[in-house]
Amino acid sequence: MHSSVQNLIKINKEIESNFKEKNQLPKIIAVSKTFGMEKIRPLIEHGHTDFGENKVQEALDKWTTVLNDNSKINLHLIGKLQTNKVKYCLKLFKFIHSLDSEKLALKISDEQIKQKIKIKLFIQVNIGNEPQKSGIKADQVENFHNFCTNLKLDIIGTMCIPPINDDPEKYFMRMMYLNKKLGLKEISMGMSADYQEAIKFNSTYLRIGSNIFGKRG
């Protein structure tokens, strides 16, 4: 059995031990950015369906043929999306976790109409108000959500990356309450270093890379 499959099984068992009801389990997005198909394919053959990529071009090069052969795979864009890449993104990804501006929302709305595609979206929240990070500030998310709703975008949840070297739980708690206030069901939060904490605060999508595939070169 490939090491990536062994790692995924171990993580799944660990998560399941925290839940009485299996229908409440968060989904694991195997973050496959920078990894080749030799590490990804064993997971596909194992039956895993959710994968995350950071860059549209890398995903196009890597996944186009694979997706043609396997329609069950859900590809998630978890990195920053530039407006000039939206038309390519919609052809490949089923989820975008990084909706972070009105300009991007308008572009996605326009391309969805052109391509007759509806994609599931997460609003990226700059939960720590960090100037170097993308995302909508927490006190502006409600207005931004209304803006997106008026565009008839399919906003299913929120996403965050908490500040490094700080307790992630306080930020995850804020996200949980923010999501509830917006009436959204999904929260994309928790990565290899903090997914156990994210689970405590109702994360429904965990973005796990190195704990599955190993360290990036």
**pLDDT tens sequence across 56-114:** 999 999 999 999 999 999 999 999 999 999 999 999 999 999 999 999 999 999 999 99
**pLDDT tens sequence across 102-146:** 999 999 999 999 999 999 999 999 999 999 999 999 999 999 999
CA–CA gap between residue 134 and residue 12 (Å, rounded) = 30
Amino acid of residue 32: S
Q: Which residue in 52, 181, 197 sits closest to 189, CA to CA?
A: 197
**pLDDT tens sequence across 18-70:** 776 666 799 999 999 999 999 999 999 999 999 999 999 999 999 999 999 99
Among the CATH numbers 3.40.50.300, 3.20.20.10, 1.10.150.120, 3.40.190.10, which is that of 3-8+26-213? 3.20.20.10
Tokens, residue 56? 């549209």
| Whether the Cβ atoms of residue 8 and residue 30 lie closer than 8 Å to each other | yes
| Whether the Cβ atoms of residue 99 and residue 77 lie closer than 8 Å to each other | no
| Whether the Cβ atoms of residue 105 and residue 151 lie closer than 8 Å to each other | yes
